[in-house]
Structure 1
Amino acid sequence: MRRLLLVLLACAGSPAMAQTVGREPANVGDAAMAASAYHDSGHYEEDLAAVLNEADAWIASEASRHPKPAVVMDIDETSLSNWPVIRADRFAYFPNGPCDALPKGPCGWAAWEKSGKAAAIPGALALFRHARALHVAVFFITGRREAERAATDANLRAAGYAGWSGLVLRPDAARTLSAAAYKAPARAAIEAQGYSIIANIGDQPSDLAGGHAVRGFLLPNPFYRVP
């Protein structure tokens, strides 16, 4: 009798269990393999190029319509690629520690960024140079900390970027601000200088949130999320 009761209870509970199956998120391991395949297949570069070409055409069409046109660009996975550390860390994030064993990990992000070895994303560099040729001011607004200014400045120049109008980094003391919480005010401060931000380009929705740009362009990045 007791065994029968247990069977009945198990059967009674099965519909509720069946309802929870659809709530299971994507398997993290599968997602990592899919992200690597997306990058290595060439589709990532194709999708980057498609958005950057659209942004470039937009900038060319809008530049002459504003007395002081400007473009805002994020840095990581927008202007510079961190793929060597992303792959070495297998999509994990290690803020601290050395980065001296690439292409093997682990690699600390702070050490990587201070090394200044990130390469330019080709389409972004081409867009930057075209904007400058059109006399459009370019500002970088990044989630990197102010303590990394010298390394970031040097990395941008080494990658081919030169002649930007401003480099805005996250204050060292800021611990809880989301990217949107300080990037939107940073764009507002650029507007306060009389600029019209005709394009805001980033790889995270938080790069574009908060307005203060005529148009935003979101680059693909399935590798990490910044709130």
Structure 2
Amino acid sequence: MEHADSAPSLSSRGGSEIESNYLETGLYITSFAATISVAALFAVGLLFITLLIALAFMLQSCQSRSSGVIQLLETSNDYGYCKVFALHAELNALETDEFPKVCKTLAIQYVKEGQYLRDLKLTMSVAESYLSSLAPQNDGLDVVLIDLDDIFLSNPCTRQLHNRLGQHDMNEWAEEAKHLKRMLVLGLYKKLQARGWSLILITRKPEEQRNAVQENLVDAGYGGWSSLIMRSDAEMQMASWEYLSGKRAHLQNQSFRITSVISSQLDALTGPCIGKRNFKLANPIYYRLKDQNNSIQLLR
């Protein structure tokens, strides 16, 4: 009996130990699973935050690109508009104040970003290529007519441009544009001279400034020209295109053969008696100014 009573007692105690072990084991497994779950949730949260940051950067990049494309399109549209307006202004001799402000801004960018220099070089290259393919006769009557006002500007005009655009703009692009054109025209000038072309310089400046103009030309390296044409007092009252075309006609009547006219100004490239092939130099902007003698100066 004693033995019998003791067996269930042991069995009962054994059951208790087993149950206790089961409960303890169950609690251990549940804690491990919770730890794994928390870690998984943290990883998912971190991944989600990383994804949000990546999406934010991508969105910002797309917006920047879109803004850049829009700005490029706007700049392109403005450039096209200003290019057309510049031709319109030159054809109609519009005053400076009638030129849109956005076009003046683009004109500064046109010089500072190097496109003006590239366009000048391209025009010079085309002119040089054409004229080098021809051989002038030995009689000295085959001439290239060069617009002198593309090389030098009168001081009154320079002061008026300074007043209109301000010190910063004058220093930043106007002087640079003049220097670039002067150097490139000089390079072409010397090459044509070496090939035997007769070079005739023409300007809208009055005859009374001849000594000063000649001195400036020599100082800048422009020597050995065939002729320097300047306005008489009677011609000062004429429109520029009329004066220029009249001088070309006079040269032709003297048996000169005008092979080419090189200028950045439209009035020098219109009318009768122009060359066989003419070249218009690039310009950052069009200006119509008047000097102290009330002569019209076209300034780019």
**Equivalent residue runs for 1:122-161 within 5 Å:** 122-161=183-222
Greater Cα radius of gyration, structure 1 or 2: 2
Distance 1:66 1:60, change over 3 A: farther
- Stretches of structure 1 lacking an aligned partner (at least 5 in a row): 1-24, 93-101, 106-117
How many residue pairs get aligned? The number is 181
Q: CA RMSD in A?
A: 3.1
1:203 to 2:264 alignment: yes
1:187 to 2:248 alignment: yes
SS in 1 for 2:120: helix
1:71 to 2:134 alignment: no
Distance 1:165 1:175, change over 3 A: closer
SS in 1 for 2:235: coil
CA contact (8 A) 2:204 2:240 kept: yes
Q: Aligned partners of 1:173 and 1:64: how far apart in 2? A: 34
CA contact (8 A) 1:70 1:197 kept: yes
Letter in 2 for 1:128: Y
CA contact (8 A) 1:200 1:216 kept: yes
CA positional deviation for 1:60: 1.2
Report Cα offsets for 1:2-41 as digits up to 9, x if no partner: xxxxxxxxxxxxxxxxxxxxxxx88622221111121222
Q: Aligned partners of 1:87 and 1:40: how far apart in 2? A: 18
Letter in 1 for 2:130: W
Partner of residue 20, structure 1: none
CA contact (8 A) 1:138 1:164 kept: yes
CA positional deviation for 1:191: 2.2
CA positional deviation for 1:165: 0.7
CA positional deviation for 1:103: 7.6
CA positional deviation for 1:192: 2.6
1:218 to 2:272 alignment: no
CA positional deviation for 1:217: 0.7
1:169 to 2:241 alignment: no
Higher normalized helix content (fraction of residues)? 2
CA contact (8 A) 1:32 1:91 kept: no
CA positional deviation for 1:84: 6.8
Partner of residue 109, structure 2: 37
SS in 1 for 2:144: strand
SS in 1 for 2:212: helix
Distance 1:170 1:91, change over 3 A: farther
Q: TM-score, normalised by structure 2?
A: 0.53
Q: TM-score, normalised by structure 1?
A: 0.68
After TM superposition, the runs of 4+ consecutive aligned structure 1 residues lying more than 6 A away are 81-84, 102-105
Distance 1:155 1:49, change over 3 A: same
CA positional deviation for 1:195: 2.0
CA contact (8 A) 1:72 1:197 kept: yes
1:88 to 2:88 alignment: no
CA positional deviation for 1:142: 1.0
Q: Aligned partners of 1:178 and 1:84: how far apart in 2? A: 21
Distance 1:156 1:86, change over 3 A: farther
Q: Aligned partners of 1:27 and 1:143: how far apart in 2? A: 23
Distance 1:176 1:51, change over 3 A: same
CA contact (8 A) 1:35 1:223 kept: no
Letter in 2 for 1:88: H
Report Cα offsets for 1:19-67 as digits up to 9, x if no partner: xxxxxx8862222111112122221121111111111111111234685
CA positional deviation for 1:69: 1.4
The percentage of counterpart residues that share the same residue type is 27
CA positional deviation for 1:80: 3.6
Q: Aligned partners of 2:165 and 2:185: how far apart in 1? A: 23
